[in-house]
Amino acid sequence: EDQVTQSPEALRLQEGESSSLNCSYTVSGLRGLFWYRQDPGKGPEFLFTLYSAGEEKEKERLKATLTKKESFLHITAPKPEDSATYLCAVQAGGGGSNYKLTFGKGTLLTVNP
Amino acid sequence: GAGVSQSPRYKVAKRGQDVALRCDPISGHVSLFWYQQALGQGPEFLTYFQNEAQLDKSGLPSDRFFAERPEGSVSTLKIQRTQQEDSAVYLCASSLLGVGNQPQHFGDGTRLSIL
């Protein structure tokens, strides 16, 4: 069974204080690893897709990296508007159900001014 | 529209009532998904459509849950004889193609509360 574990569950940072969120996964053949941002009362907003170990993607203050067992979302010099829940999800490549996403519980990030 | 649209945004029903939740996917998107999100949890897969065909309904919690997408566009998730444990946010997502590793784009969900 595919599993995704995110840590920490909650993270509080001061504005400008860089940090990383972790996503550990077990999946039968990774087709893709996805990062989403979710604001309160909203649906998940797509950020990145990573396909293979060693891959990195960047967007503004966010950089996502991928190894064979985990992914990191690095946040550089965060601002209060980066406060949200960050969700990690995997899509398995083996077998028939290679379209559905298996999500972790998310990391609630709070950035204080 | 520009994104996935869901209605209603909020639904309150008494236990035992039937409810219907609507999803308008991004125009032209082949794949449509329904997920259920409990408070403090990540979304959990319910069902998947490719055009009008329901290819996977393995995540539907019971036979009280039914989904359809008759013309390959708008989808409806129906819950019959609702129970308190059905209270959750129901998210709809769509993706452009009918193959894996395409990003899924989510609507803002319907928050269902069963009294």
Q: What is the rounded (10 degree) CA torsion for A98, A102, A108, B1?
A: 50
Which residues, including other chains, have CB under 8 Å from residue A72's CB and lie 6 or more apart? A20, A21, A22, A23, A64, A65
Measured between beta carbons, which residues in chain B are less than 8 angstroms from residue A49? 101, 103
Measured between beta carbons, which residues in chain B are less than 8 angstroms from residue A98? 100
Measured between beta carbons, which residues in chain A are less than 8 angstroms from residue B42? 4, 87, 89, 103-106
Contact B100 A106 (CB under 8 A): no
In angstroms, rounded to a whole number, what is the distance separating the alpha carbons of residues A108 and B40?
10
Which tens digit of pLDDT belongs to each residue from A59-112? 999 999 999 999 999 999 999 999 999 999 999 876 666 789 999 999 999 999
Which tens digit of pLDDT belongs to each residue from A1-44? 899 999 999 999 999 999 999 999 999 889 999 999 999 999 99
Contact A105 B108 (CB under 8 A): no
Place of tokens 């308190």: B84
Q: Taking the CB of residue B45, how many other CB atoms lie within 10 A of it?
A: 21
Which residues, including other chains, have CB under 8 Å from residue B104's CB and lie 6 or more apart? A34, A46, A101, B31, B33, B93, B94, B95
